[in-house]
A = this chain, B = another copy of it.
């Protein structure tokens, strides 16, 4: 099975880290193709960054279909372009926020999300609503750590994250913590050990989810709302994004 893990930003170091996290959990026989678009924001920290990043995500899914990918992970906690990506994919497409929140709801009655910038909390909160997770999400907590600080050596970011996770544990009556950024994928073991309760990284959770759906023979439904986009011309510099008739 070949799963494409798409880092929607263009920071190669983060893509490498995400790929490592994906490979570490992948089942024997699963090939992880970790990529990032050649164009777009170096990090995603606003609705704007996210919106622009979608184009790269879709390009990678489009190429993935030609490359015979069986499923896709969108490795940014805003799950950018999720429904659009599903329309052009044969197999399943899973966002890491989606995967992490669902996993958390299976092992606890309530979880908190610890993420990066405070201004990004709204993105996670909107996903909580969209996914019907308000019954389980106790709080979304920002730390005001810029995403790319997670790529730096040194432990300042880790310390801040640990502090916020401890507050979540002690104040939110939660049973699990979801790390709200793909760039935290390498921290999950450390945080879990320090906090003493389940901590979930969406990259690993999403890889496992995609593998499971593929094994179940379940791809994105092509009946109804997520059917292939209708073939039609696209104009100008985006003309190659046009979907061909099938």
Contact = CB atoms under 8 A, between A and B. Distances in A.
Interface of A: 10, 25, 27, 37-43, 45-52, 54-56, 58, 81, 83-84, 86-88, 92, 94, 98, 102-103, 105-110, 118-119, 121-122, 126, 129-136, 146, 169, 173-176, 196-198, 200, 204-205, 208-209, 211-213, 215-216, 218-227, 229-230, 232-239, 241-243
Given A107-B218, A230-B45, A40 B223 contact: no
A215 B212 CA distance: 12
Contacts of A130: 126, 129, 135
Contacts of A219: 107, 198
Contacts of A227: 46, 119
A206 to B, nearest CB: 10
A38 B48 CA distance: 20
A237 B237 CA distance: 10
Closest 10 CB pairs of A and B: A132-B132, A39-B236, A51-B84, A175-B221, A208-B212, A197-B223, A10-B235, A47-B83, A46-B229, A122-B225
